[in-house]
Structure 1
Amino acid sequence: MNQIKRATLVLPAGEWNPEKRLGGVTLDFDRRSRRRIALTSDEGLDFLLDLPEPRHLRQGDGLALQDGVIEVLAAPEELLELRCADAHALLRLAWHIGNRHIPAMLEGEAILIRADHVLADMARRLGAEVTAVARPFDPEGGAYADVPTGGGHSHGHSHGHSHGHGHGHHHH
């Protein structure tokens, strides 16, 4: 019986030899943010992604197998492209998205987020033009991207901070 191939090393996009390419694996954003997962390449090769710690895989990264490399391909996803009339409105919209800890991809004069009708309504109320698009989603990494999670700071919402705005705004 054949032992399943294991990928234990990620080679950053542009830093691996394309002649070693065995195939590609097309994954959405969630499946590109894993430590250990059984995968099948687009060509039908089964392998196990088995990394020492969780990390986000980006378009063009290589997953090193014993006999070659599987290229990571970002799958198109349903996104909302948000555009505003001016830079101030776009910054204001970016603040509201960031305040909600929503993964966002910044591209030129647009912000792209995952399709969500509540966020679409919020963006429209803030003056944004909202367009549904299907594109690969590779959001900004943020302050805690690719940081080992063992004992480090996790930015989930299990901690008790408030997003209220009562601090520092006392009126006498």
Structure 2
Amino acid sequence: MRKFRSVNNAIRRTLECSFSTLTNPLKKKIPEDYTPYAISVFEGRLDEEQSEKLLVNVSFSVGKERISKLNKFSIRLMSEFDAYSFKLAGIRKKNILYKEFTSKNAKIEYVTQVNMGNFKVLLPEIVAAYYEGYDYTNILWLKGRNDNLAKIEYLANEYGLFLWNAS
């Protein structure tokens, strides 16, 4: 069974309006109207010493627990808000293709870290893009001054995660 289908024109236009500068985060540039927030098992950025201590030679059980926290948060986020997948297409990667999930299970499978597939999801209700990151940290790009930050931080804390400004 297919996990995605193309969105209809009305949804596409709405997403294009809300996420008109989205190509910047995709190209790893920080756009002026978005603020990146890290959702992580760590309280902040790791320095070189901390990275070596917390990321090198991590036991299987510790790694599994960290991934489980991020997965539970991602599943909760997908159940709280509408979500759409997207990717850049075209010769110069200037066109954005928006896809909707065919089921709740498809949405959950897409954001759980089984094979580290680098998911990218749009959450139009809160005008945010949610990306899979590295080193037990995912990135949430919030557009403008966003009133939903407190709710997202509450959800992150509920699963033992931390939310901090990543810019």
TM-score, length-normalised on structure 1? Answer: 0.35
Structure (1/2) with the larger helix percentage: 2
Q: Report the structure number with the largest CA radius of gyration.
A: 1
Q: Higher relative CO (CA 8 A, sep ≥ 6), structure 1 or 2? A: 2
